[in-house]
Chain A
């Protein structure tokens, strides 16, 4: 009996506690301003933050709209000396508490990235609400806020469009989605430079729409250069991140001799060996692909034609990849391919001989040896090139 009285007391007390102190973390869902995307700009030592917010209040205005959410996103801007201050200053404008857990993309302007991105990355990683699984992008040549001001044609918000695009990585093979967590890891890891995709706003018809293409290269926390879409594709090959379904085009010397290939599977192996006390990285790209489009009358499907095509493709891909490596080595000097990390992983003894912080000097001198091996399989629905009748 006594025991049950005690138990009753506990429950009664819990009730008292509950009703007296309220619920600390209690957040009413309708009071939230759900941040779906944010951008960071910098002007005169001030961080300008633009956030795209979804809030049910907007939903009432748009009742009956055809969009899947029926909500127009709202944009808010705030500024401050630090990211945190900018976020806090925005509360006075938005009126509701900004809720960051659903944020999909963070866009950093080129200027901010050039000065160093660590401030933003640290805030994202430290804050319990912001998730490291958010995409990070760099806006090239424009204010990052302008990207959020563009129109999205098929999606409710720009951020959702970018999110869907990056999640599927497109079939273009020309972009490389990077989350903040991955970015941070690459920034911290020895012997590898971080990469982020580039976002631009382009004119399409009458409207400005966002476009993700190419990649921004970082050395440490600072942006050092860009790769265009084509080069990003070779970067993907080198980082072994080529997705299936990507289309690549092979051009031959003579006109009207183009063939498009669809990649079914691709795997890149990198190994390191020593030649005259200097590291040489061997790269093997194994690629399973099929013909998706033939724009010449030549026979590329028969055994001989196929062999010729394969050789041509191998050579071309090898050259392009080597060119990309050269370009990065000479112009930017940041090891976005992870050669240093490869050495660190596979030859830690060799890595130790490089003085701390000296990899940046060694990297441009690393020799690479690229081998491409494409296997052709299939030619979609047609067994022959489309012939033109006499």
Chain B
């Protein structure tokens, strides 16, 4: 198993962990954590799999991951500020379980 494959597989494992947690965790902070793990997993996968071909690192996935990290932190900041407002306005730290359907 090559280095890249190892990390790509780590990515897959982390992705499933994060996905699972995103679905089952109720606390908003945990959902945000899950989302971040999910993001990191995808980034690992991206670089790991792209490296398979040659020896020299490919700049394209690197650029993609750098962008992705910035996006992830912005989304996290947005999510946390929403969570704070939700707590302040309605005292909620979880999403209402039963949705208004």
- Answer yes or no: do A and B interact: no
